[in-house]
Amino acid sequence: MAERPIDLGWVRVFAAVGEMGSLSSAAGILGLTQPAVSYQVRRLEEQMGVSLLQRQHRGVELTPEGRRLFDVASRTVDDVDALVRSFRSQSERPAIRLRTDYAFSSLWLIPRMHTFRLLYPEMDIQIVATQRMEQGPSDGDIAVVFGTRQEFGRNATLLLPERVVPICTQGFLDRNGPFFDPFEIAGARLLHLDSRAPSPWFDWKSYLAELGISRDAAVGQGELSFNTYSLVVQAAIGEQGLAIGWMGLVDSLLSSRMLVAAGPMLEAKDRGYWLLPPKAQSAETDRLAAWLISEAGMDPVKAQDL
């Protein structure tokens, strides 16, 4: 018949007794009673068939067999405790959910995340992107949301005011431009971002209306529409037409000359991307919020200050 395995719980109790040199002291650090500690050590002795402790008037002393077991048990218990602490440390690393839309996450946030990782390598970030954010963050989240100052609370911070300019490749501009006159833009092949009506941001209709142009829908034959802004930008890079470029999202493409500005810039000062603070604030969310503001190159302007 196979021998019954040693109860590792008893070994941990014995290691505590050997460390403290006292049954009562070991009971105190283990959260047990002194009789319970004495019972478990006695059961361990019975199962091993040797005496491990010599009970004295004050405390206990390890027998030679007890000393040999203590040398092994104490190292094992310390190693297990260290491993458990490492597991807990990994599971308790600061993790923040940052919620935003596809355009901001893919064109603004992701290219900059390496700088945040260098600053805070211990923080875990979960980026949750949706097509359009409708609500603020839940507990522990930070959100970057497009909209107007009236839509958000007084603690929202404007990161990127809405400034737009027509964009295309230099090749498309050479073949179809220049577009010095807004009427020439209205007659070009345009790339559209689908949105609910009325559009919450500049679309071609509202952009041209700001310039006093009413575009005939029949002009836009053969044009393309997309449900995400990243696809609009890719189509512009592919020389499929003229797109609306949001400054802050397409800056790197303009500076690298992959795309060029091809018309007048317009700004909607009360619209843009807003940083919404979490309901449950922490040191980690404060770091992330401060980094977002710094990367946007903005002074922390609150909604009520505009």
Q: Is residue 2 part of a domain?
A: no
Per-residue pLDDT tens over the stretch 186-201: 888 999 998 777 788 9
pLDDT, tens digit (0-9, with 9 covering 90-100), for 217-266: 545 567 889 988 999 999 999 999 999 999 999 999 999 999 999 999 99
Residues 143 and 289 in one domain: yes
Q: In this structure, are strands 191-193 and 124-130 parallel, antiparallel, or unpaired?
A: unpaired
Residue 256 and residue 179 share a domain: yes
Is residue 211 in a domain?
yes
The CATH number that applies at residue 152 is 3.40.190.290
pLDDT of residue 282: 82
State whether 65 and 114 are in the same domain: no
Cite the beta strand spans of 63-156 per DSSP E.
95-101, 124-130, 141-148
- Give the pLDDT of residue 132: 61
Range of the domain at 141: 95-305
Last residue of a domain, one of 90, 109, 125: 90
103, 146: one domain? yes
Burial 63-92 (b: 16+ CB within 10 A, else e): beebeebbeebbeebeeeeeeeeeeeeeee
pLDDT above 50: residue 57: yes
HSE toward the beta carbon, residue 81, CA cutoff 13 A: 9
Domain assignment present for residue 259? The answer is yes
Confirm whether 294 is domain-assigned: yes
Looking at the structure, tell me whether residues 43 and 164 fall in a common domain: no
CB 265 within 8 A of CB 114: no
Residue count of the chain: 306
Together in a domain, 39 and 130: no
Domain annotation covers residue 1: no
Q: Which two tokens stand for residue 56?
A: 């004295």
Both 36 and 111 in one domain: the answer is no
Kindly state whether residues 177 and 281 are assigned to the same domain.
Answer: yes
Give the highest mean pLDDT range of 18-27, 51-60, 70-79, 231-240.
231-240
Is 292 a domain residue? yes
pLDDT at residue 80 is higher than 80: no
Which helix (H) or strand (E) covers residue 139, if one does? none
Non-local (6+) Cβ contacts of 213 within 8 A are 182, 183, 185, 186
| Domain identity same for 274 and 179 | yes
Domain C-terminal end among 56, 90, 124: 90
Instruction: State how far the Cα of 162 lies from the Cα of 89, in Å rounded to an integer.
Output: 42
Query: Residue 45's domain is classified under what CATH number?
Result: 1.10.10.10
Least confident of 41-55, 64-78, 89-103, 157-171: 89-103
Residue 21 domain flag: yes
Q: Which of 90, 123, 143 is a domain's end point?
A: 90
Same domain? For 158 and 250 the reply is yes
Tell me whether residue 3 is in a domain: no
Would the pTM count as exceeding 0.75?
Answer: no
Exposed, middle or buried: residue 155 (CB in 10 Å: 0-12, 13-18, 19+)? exposed
Task: List phi, psi (to 5°) of 220.
Answer: -85, 35
Q: Parallel, antiparallel, or unpaired: how do β-strands 157-168 and 243-246 relate?
A: antiparallel
Q: How many domains does the chain contain in total?
A: 2
Structure tokens at 261: 């500005």
Q: Let me know: does 143 contact 136? Beta carbons within 8 Å.
A: yes
Q: How far apart are CA 77 and CA 30, in angstroms?
A: 13
292 and 177 share one domain: yes
Task: Give the lowest-confidence range in 4-13, 33-42, 82-91.
Answer: 82-91
Q: Which residues contact 164 (CB under 8 A, 6 or more apart)?
A: 202, 207, 244, 245, 246, 247, 265, 266, 267
Give the pLDDT band (50/70/90) at residue 109.
very high
Residue partners of 146: CB distance under 8 A and separation at least 6: 101, 104, 132, 133, 162, 200, 201, 271, 272, 273, 274
Considering the domain architecture, whether residues 187 and 158 belong to the same structural domain is answered as: yes
